Amino acid sequence: MPISSASSEDEFDESAYLNANPDVADAVRRGQFRSGWHHFQQYGINEKRPCHTLEKPSSQMPYEPAVRNPILRFEQRAPSYQTAVDTFWDRWACDLQPLLGVSGTGPALLFTQDTRPSQAASVLGADGRFVGYNVLELGPLEAAHTYLLEQLGARTITAVEASVEAYLKCLVVKEILQLKKAKFLLGDIRRYLDTTLERFDLIFCSGVLYHMDEPVGLIRSICGLTDRCFVWTHYYDRRRHPVPFDPIQRIESGFSTTYWSHTYGDRSADFWGGNKNTAAWLERDSLLAGFQHFGLSRITIIDDDYDHTNGPAITFAAARE
């Protein structure tokens, strides 16, 4: 029904409005407007922009549970942002509603409130930007950081993801947010790092190291391909880990450390961890020493959240002197 009958933002079909007005969608992505509703209130209603009220409650599953496998169904609705994100209805970690007005996505505000890409740019970029940088992103999950890295001016972003589900979500996001600089690759991170002939101006490694079964090997591979790396990761501290972690001594290319290893539980549902059955955490000092040993010796601590809910977490930049 015509939008003139809508009395609140709750009745406003954000997705339909942005689909019908691609210039507005682009302006929202650039931050000129908070949302399509914001634009409609200021300009759209007077410009008689095409839009409609919502046709269904946001909690309604868009297809029958019997065909919930998104690959094995056919779409009956008109193409929209909503039909695209509904491919993974209720399987998203990140919230896409603020950008696209869609429902059925997750709670994490990584697209709109995550500061890690801008933190990386403030320390490792030029004038707080990544203009001209060729970036390698490890584990993009749902492309939230990819989107923000592109907003920060990256020339190219190569993003490597091992989870098939996450990879397909990244392709959905690439299309609906019209990412122009990003290329997504499906495969094992270590195998990519150890076989690529490319070097990168920056490697962005957020939420990855603590999922690796051989984290020092990953650090060595990273340091061989770049002069700058941004890291957000958990680290091991026995005072914060009542769950048993097994100590394993490791020596990698002359670097000796202790792996605190654990086995993942149920990997069948809602699991977005590593692609091995086990993961090893490093202690804080060993983590930083590993980057220094393999050549990225200038360490800048950005944040150290010892009381993080899931265990101590550290944000830092590592660069070659």
Predicted pLDDT of residue 225: 98
Q: Tokens standing for 53?
A: 């009220």
Whether the pLDDT of residue 3 is over 80: the answer is no
pLDDT tens string 177-229:
999 999 999 999 999 999 999 999 999 999 999 999 999 999 999 999 999 99
pLDDT tens string 50-94:
665 554 444 456 655 545 566 777 888 899 999 999 999 888 999
Predicted pLDDT of residue 268: 60
CB burial of residue 195 (10 Å; 0-12, 13-18, 19+):
exposed
Q: Which of 145, 222, 156 is nearest to 190 (CA)?
A: 222
Whether the pLDDT of residue 5 is over 50: the answer is no
Domain coordinates in residue numbering, the chain: 3-105, 111-319
Q: Tokens standing for 57?
A: 């409650």
pTM: 0.80
Distance, CA of 259 to CA of 52 (rounded, Å):
56
Beta bridge pairs of residue 126 = 129
Sign for the pseudo-dihedral over CA of 66, 69, 72, 78:
positive
Predicted pLDDT of residue 55: 47
CB burial of residue 2 (10 Å; 0-12, 13-18, 19+):
exposed
Contacts of 210 (CB under 8 A, 6+ apart): 233, 234, 235, 279, 281, 311
Whether the pLDDT of residue 8 is over 80: the answer is no
What number does CATH give the domain 111-319?
A: 3.40.50.150
Whether the pLDDT of residue 243 is over 80: the answer is no
Distance, CA of 211 to CA of 201 (rounded, Å):
24
Phi-psi category of residue 164: left, alpha or beta, with phi > 0 → left and psi -120 to 50 → alpha: alpha
At residue 278 the predicted structure's pLDDT band, cuts being 50, 70 and 90, is confident
Distance, CA of 94 to CA of 107 (rounded, Å):
6
Predicted pLDDT of residue 314: 98
Whether the pLDDT of residue 15 is over 90: the answer is no
At residue 34 the predicted structure's pLDDT band, cuts being 50, 70 and 90, is confident
Whether the pLDDT of residue 2 is over 90: the answer is no
pLDDT tens string 254-269:
999 999 988 766 656 5
Contacts of 205 (CB under 8 A, 6+ apart): 138, 139, 222, 229, 230, 231, 232, 233
Full DSSP string of 262-284 = EE----SSS--S-SSSEEEEPBH
Contacts of 20 (CB under 8 A, 6+ apart): 49, 50, 51
Q: Tokens standing for 74?
A: 């056919």
Poorest-pLDDT segment among 17-21, 150-154, 167-171: 17-21
Distance, CA of 5 to CA of 11 (rounded, Å):
9
Predicted pLDDT of residue 4: 43
Predicted pLDDT of residue 60: 58
Whether the pLDDT of residue 134 is over 70: the answer is yes
Per cent of the chain over pLDDT 90 is: 64
At residue 48 the predicted structure's pLDDT band, cuts being 50, 70 and 90, is low
